[in-house]
Amino acid sequence: MNENPYSGHRLLSEKEQEVLGEYARLAGTIRRIVDLSNSLSSSEKHEHLLRDLRILERKMGLVLTLFKASVWSLIQTHQDELEEEQHQTIV
């Protein structure tokens, strides 16, 4: 849309024609951006990717829970060993 739809309009001055032409080009650009955005956001490929990411998110949540449990177990084991050492030094 390179041609100004307002050029040669008999009720508009030259500057008004230029300004309205720029607005028309801007509106066309925004329309193309919206169309592109809609096509990118509604594709099946992206839906499949979102499903895969949700599955991965659940798995990562499980991994984090197991990691926390392992760290807690190591801390508890270390504390038990320290208490056992202290008990042996007292006796």
DSSP letter for each residue of 33-86: HHHHHHHHHT-HHHHHHHHHHHHHHHHHHHHHHHHHHHHHHHHHHHHHHHHHHH
Q: Given a cut of 70, is residue 62 above it in pLDDT?
A: yes
Q: Are residues 2 and 37 in the same domain?
A: yes
Can you read off the two tokens belonging to residue 36?
């592109």
Range of the domain at 17: 1-42
Q: Do 1 and 28 contact (CB within 8 A), yes or no?
A: yes
- The answer to the question of residue 78 being in a domain is yes
Number of domains forming the structure of the chain: 2
pLDDT tens digits, one per residue of 3-50: 898 888 889 899 999 999 999 999 999 999 999 988 777 777 778 888
Q: If we measure between CA atoms, which residue out of 29, 33, 53, 52 comes closest to residue 41?
A: 33
pLDDT tens digits, one per residue of 42-51: 777 778 888 9
Q: Are residues 4 and 35 in the same domain?
A: yes
- The answer to the question of residue 33 being in a domain is yes
- The answer to the question of residue 47 being in a domain is no
